[in-house]
């Protein structure tokens, strides 16, 4: 089977992109779940008879597999790529994983591009924000735009830069989700959920993240030791309720570590505060 577009992995992301694209009849897909063949046929996407067959002649490859398979797939595909093919690794993995995958692909003569998918593919579909990095990121951007992807930004020439943005952003995004669960489960158990949420509404003031981060580090540098002691009591509260305190226990340690720097007058500016903490 010959094609110019190959999708490795045909789960939610792969099938959503193919369904949204006018190019799907030009595409071939491969998925280790043979049951996905029915979805490929329904969407008029070619069903590769194994990875080698799916990659035959493909000039653009979109890797959309689970995180634990991302490096394995890149290594397996490397020697099977057509000369000059661009391997777009769209999986959510660490920069180090992307760099290892790039080494395998490029050693075999292919081109590797690190792509971070920055929002759920459904309902955004081809408008999902994509960050690209790597030596061939500009070329990959042009090809992806030709496929209808509309929200693309190249963030650098180094493989791993795009994924670093996504991974580190997830510290906040997924962390807030986990903190939310820890907070509301305890509030519900204590029968004070409405009051806690109302208090959060009253205290929350919309600010740019740069301003919020600068303020938060300032508070920790000045009051971290005291806040760690307070948060230990929060841990006791949550443990007493039996709802779990994993996130709050970690907060105690982070507050204590930064508070131990003992800065009564932290330096001005987020960058200066980060620099001081990192030096210590």
Domains for the chain: give ranges and CATH numbers: 5-158 (3.40.50.720), 165-279 (1.10.1040)
Could you tell me how many helices (H) and strands (E) the chain has, helices first? 12, 8
Q: What angle do CA 60, 130, 217 make, to 5 degrees?
A: 145
Whole-number Å distance between alpha carbons of 209 and 25: 43
The reply to whether omega before 152 is within 30° of 0 (cis) is: no
Q: Which residues contact 90 (CB under 8 A, 6 or more apart)?
A: 13, 62, 63, 64, 115, 116, 117, 130
pTM for the structure as a whole: 0.84
Coil, strand or helix at 59: coil
Residue by residue, pLDDT tens for the chain (280 residues) are 556 899 999 999 999 999 999 999 999 999 999 899 999 999 999 999 999 999 999 999 999 999 999 999 999 999 999 999 999 999 999 999 999 999 999 999 999 999 999 999 999 999 999 999 999 999 999 999 999 999 999 999 999 999 999 999 988 888 888 888 889 889 999 999 999 999 998 987 788 888 888 988 888 899 999 889 888 988 998 999 999 999 999 999 989 999 999 888 899 998 998 998 988 7
């Amino acid at each position: 089977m010959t094609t110019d577009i190959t999708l490795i992995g045909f789960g939610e992301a792969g099938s959503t992109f193919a369904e949204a694209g006018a190019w799907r009849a030009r595409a071939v897909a491969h998925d280790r779940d043979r049951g996905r063949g029915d979805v490929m046929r329904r969407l008029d996407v070619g069903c590769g008879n194994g990875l080698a067959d799916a990659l035959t002649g493909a000039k653009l490859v979109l890797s959309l597999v689970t995180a634990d398979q991302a490096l394995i797939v890149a290594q397996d595909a490397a020697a099977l790529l057509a000369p000059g093919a661009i391997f777009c690794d769209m999986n959510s993995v660490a920069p180090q994983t992307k760099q290892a995958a790039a080494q395998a692909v490029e050693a075999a003569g292919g081109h590797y591009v690190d792509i971070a998918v920055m929002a759920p593919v459904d309902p955004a579909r081809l408008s999902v924000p994509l960050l690209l990095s790597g030596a061939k990121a500009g070329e990959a951007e042009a090809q992806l735009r030709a496929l209808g992807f509309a929200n693309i930004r190249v963030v650098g020439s180094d493989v791993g830069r795009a994924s670093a943005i996504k991974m580190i952003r997830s510290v906040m995004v997924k962390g807030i989700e986990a903190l939310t669960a820890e907070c509301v489960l305890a509030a519900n158990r204590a029968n004070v959920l409405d009051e806690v949420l109302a208090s959060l509404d009253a205290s929350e003031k919309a600010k740019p993240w740069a301003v919020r981060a600068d303020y938060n580090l300032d508070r920790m540098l000045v009051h971290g030791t005291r806040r760690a002691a307070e948060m230990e009591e929060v841990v006791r509260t949550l443990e007493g309720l039996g709802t779990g305190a994993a996130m709050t226990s970690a907060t105690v340690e982070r507050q204590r570590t930064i508070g131990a720097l003992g800065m009564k007058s932290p330096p001005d500016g987020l960058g200066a505060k980060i620099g001081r903490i990192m030096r210590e």
